[in-house]
Chains A and B, each alone.
Chain A
Amino acid sequence: MRFERRLDQPRWLAVAVPMGSIAVGFALMAVVLLATGHAPGPTYRRLLDSAFFGDGALSATLVSCTPLVFTGLAAAAAFRMRLYNIGGEGQFYWGAIAGVGIALYLGDRGVDSTPAYIAATAVAGAAAGAAWAAIPGLLRAFAHTNEIITSLMLNYVAGLVLTYLIIDSRSYWRDLESFEGQTFPLGKMIPEEAKWPSASLDAFGGIVLPLGFGIAVALAVVMWVVYARTRFGFELQVIGDSPRSARFAGMRLRRKIVAVMCLSGAVAGLGGASFEADFAYQLDPTGLQTSFYGYMGIVVAALARYNPLAVVPVGFLLGGLVNAGFTLQGADFPSGLVGVMQGLILFCALAGEVLLRYRLRMGRTAPRAVDPQAEAAA
């Protein structure tokens, strides 16, 4: 048995392989479920219900999916240029810190216009994420350090900053006045006017569409246009494919590296701001650091093959899986098992990529018989 590189990739495979891989993931998980004394059928029915078909399921899935679409777009933005920004996690934290910070500050100044809050939180979040991503970007461009390592390490730094702000200090972000806040370290709530509005749809028994989701979808479209139809996008393609040829063509590589890292960080930071203003409303270091939105975004981007438009549906599916995980876990279904299930499905989905790029050959295939015409010619 051996792998042979595919010279071309049929279009149908790009759809069939991920679907098949996910099916394999569910099949494997069924074995695990049986071994742990759970019936796979009803479990999967509950999973689908809580992710997509039950009452309010779609609204809940959109809540889990919105940050994933942002971080997925952030990862895709950089990976397109073969720049591996693993720092979406930390950039997301900084977006959350800056978004909450500006909302609290404007609240103290008595601002009560929601559009002003929306603009301020979005800009602050994006700027903070961009600034954090600029560090590995500048290091890569001018000192040739590996951006994978530096951006990954900075995630831990950002996580520690979060913990410091709420648990280890009496910072501006911490709630020191309310009763709960005095008994347990909590983040301050942002003002009511600062919360991003949402739209309600009557379809499918009522869906709540958060503003952040709308922004994320619009951003996906904008990013696609930038990649496919602008000089900037063209440069990213060339640099990603062949840095040497890009230099030959007179492109300025260092600037592009920094710009793309900042763009990627800005998207992740905007995601952090949207997460706070749409759903969380207060800085929660534990919640942020255990959701792994930044890391999940890398998976989303990989499954979407770095296509911004595909990030939206992939983010939606993974969001459903995350959301269903919350519903499933309970006394009879430990959270560890939920983790195993999510892990198995993601693992299979990513492993399936190999089949897209390589063809599996079994045994030693003998060459076909000699063509009679060629024989006659000889």
Chain B
Amino acid sequence: MRGITKRFPGVLANDGVNFEAAAGEVHALLGENGAGKTTLMNVLTGLYRPDEGEIEIQGEPVDFQSPRDALDAGIGMVHQHFRLVETLTVAENMTLGWHTPRFWLGVRAGRRQVRDVSGALRMPIDPEARVWQLSVGEQQRVEIVKAVFRGSRVLILDEPTAVLTPQEVEQLFETLRLMAREGHAVIVITHKLHEVMAVADRITVLRGGKAVATVSVSEVTLRSLAGLMVGREIAEARRVEPQHSPGELVLQVANLTATGDRGGFAVRDVSFGIRAGEIVGVAGVAGNGQRELAETIYGIRRAATGIVRVDGKRLRRGDPRAAIAAGVAHVPEDRLGTGLAPSLSIASNVSLKTYRFPPISRGPLLLVRRMRERALALIRRYDVKAPGPDVPVRNLSGGNLQKLVLGREFDGEPRLLVAAQPTRGLDVGAIETVHTYLREAAAAGVAVLLFSEDLDEIRALADRIVVMYEGALVGELDPASASVEDIGLLMAGGRPR
């Protein structure tokens, strides 16, 4: 890819980016949020058309009109959210929508080919299994095999480790190295530095829409890479022992049970408590009820049974207004869908929870000028990159959205902060900021409940770690003594040694 430029209104997402990936290598595309990684790969997969620049595949210039063209040229992508039909079998998913020259591909032939491909990649998959029966890690393997099965020579993986346990991550890296050895070009989009160091051969770093460097992994260290990525040196997330002792009990959860979106219990008989100034980290593989637990405590999901108390006062079930009144702040996992109104302005979103009270409103009247002033102050204090308070929030990048939500929730001076995946999708610099905020909140006496899939983050921040598996709390660990392996074992449903 040469000189790729892609503009969006008000944003230069890619600015003359040169990028190349060779057969036989694992190439990491590293960058902060909003650096233009996803845009660049969307150009390569035919989803966007570049405003300037050209793409060559094996020396041939190509001009993709649609994702189909890119697929035909041998470019496959494994998205962060899998594109699989859950009720079909693995083999059916592979053959779905795929034209072979013979027009008709029998499912039996498909089965055989799935076995061949997965065998060659040393990723055993049962072609007869239905997708919903598979774990997230297995589903990801299906996606990879699917891409190879469809003749991809270039395989792009978008944040592939976000949903995996540490053990599964190791397996995935094994596979990627094998694929590279067999002559594929593997591109991994990520912002996790230690993964880059573990798996990549070469690294291209994007910053502010420009490719700032392409380096071989042997030439760099974790620190210099982080420096390249954010343009300055970054301190590693290190454990800071709390200077204060926890205060009185703020949150009490007793026998809490809640149903999931697809029926069945997503939260099973959960009981725990958090004291003022304490950070409790909830570890778990994605989809084990963490989101539902956070939602139930905040009241946006109605508890089936059980009690939530804040400062001893029982919260009304399924009523976020009661939670807000009791001083519960919530950073939801799905920021844009749950925490923000996408088409409304930054000013409106900053006052989303406080519009009811003075000084934002006086009686029934809304004081629009105060809303703007507050938004301006928040933009400045939390360093949100935005043209102004009147811009619709959907025009902001992921990191800035998160800063906005965090800023709003911290500003309410909460008693309890329920933060669900607060650093997911953020770059190193923003993660650092979020960690600082969380520590500051705890130091100010806020009880913090932190949900995260990043074990390093939990280990660095939490005073206590609880592990969630299939909706239940399966263990409590002391972060000072627990190893990643101990936590990983609990996350996978096993018992610690």
Q: Mark interface residues in A241-264 (1 if CB within 8 Å of B CB, else 0).
A: 110111111111000000000000
Interface centre among B341, B353, B355 (most CB of A within 10 A): B341
Given A230-B364, A248-B320, A238 and B63 contact (CB-CB distance below 8 Å):
no
A371 contacts B320, CB within 8 Å?
Answer: no
The residue of chain A having its C-beta at the shortest distance from the C-beta of B4 within the complex is A374
- In the complex, which of the residues A229, A252, A373 has the most CB atoms of chain B within 10 Å of its own CB atom? A229
> How many whole Å from A250's CB to the nearest CB in chain B?
3
Within 8 A of B (CB), among A355-378: 364, 366-371, 373-375, 377-378
**Which residues does chain B contribute within 8 Å of A202, judged by CB atoms?**
none
| Interface size bracket, B side | 35 or more
Please provide the chain A residues from 17 to 54 with a CB less than 8 Å away from any CB of chain B in the complex.
none
Number of A-B residue pairs, CB cutoff 8 Å, is 108
Pair B338/A244 contact, Cβ less than 8 Å: yes
Contact A248 B339 (CB under 8 A): yes
B319 contacts which chain A residues (CB < 8 A)?
A: 250
In the bound complex, do residue A245 and residue B321 qualify as a contact, i.e. CB atoms below 8 Å apart?
no
Q: Complex formed: what's the CA distance from A250 to B18 in Å?
A: 48
- Tell me whether A237 is interfacial, beta carbon within 8 Å: yes
- Determine if B340 is an interface residue (Cβ-Cβ < 8 Å): yes
**Distance of A232 from chain B, by nearest CB (Å):** 6
Whether B365 and A231, one on each chain, are in contact in the complex, defined by CB atoms closer than 8 angstroms, is yes
Quick check: A250 and B321 within 8 Å, CB to CB?
A: yes
Is the CB–CB distance between A242 and B53 below 8 Å?
no
Assembled-state Cα–Cα distance A250/B319 (Å): 7
Contact A234–B366 (Cβ < 8 Å): yes
Q: Please tell me if B221 contacts chain A, counting CB pairs below 8 Å.
A: no
Q: Which of A229, A247, A252 contacts B365 (CB 8 A)?
A: A229
Q: Contact between A374 and B5 (Cβ–Cβ < 8 Å)?
A: yes
Q: Which residues of B contact A237 (CB under 8 A)?
A: 341, 344, 348
In the bound assembly, the distance between CA atoms of A251 and B321 in angstroms comes to 7
Q: Measured between C-beta atoms, what is the minimum distance from A8 to chain B in Å?
A: 5
Report Cα–Cα, A41/B83, bound state, in Å. 59
Minimum CB–CB distance from B345 to chain A (whole Å) comes to 10
Q: Is B38 an interface residue (CB 8 A)?
A: no
A249: which of B49, B337, B352, B365 is its contact (CB, 8 Å)? B352
Contact B51 A232 (CB under 8 A): no
Contact B3 A371 (CB under 8 A): yes
On whether the beta carbons of A244 and B8 are closer than 8 Å, the reply is no
**Chain B residues whose C-beta falls within 8 Å of the C-beta of A368 in the assembled complex:** 51-52
CB nearest neighbor in B for A239: B341
A374 close to B352 (CB less than 8 A): no
A250 & B53 in contact (Cβ 8 Å cutoff): no
What are 9 A-to-B residue pairs whose CB atoms are below 8 Å? A229-B368, A230-B366, A234-B348, A238-B341, A245-B337, A247-B300, A248-B298, A375-B3, A378-B18
Interface pairs A-B: 9 shortest CB-CB: A374-B16, A250-B321, A374-B3, A241-B341, A249-B352, A242-B341, A370-B3, A250-B320, A7-B9
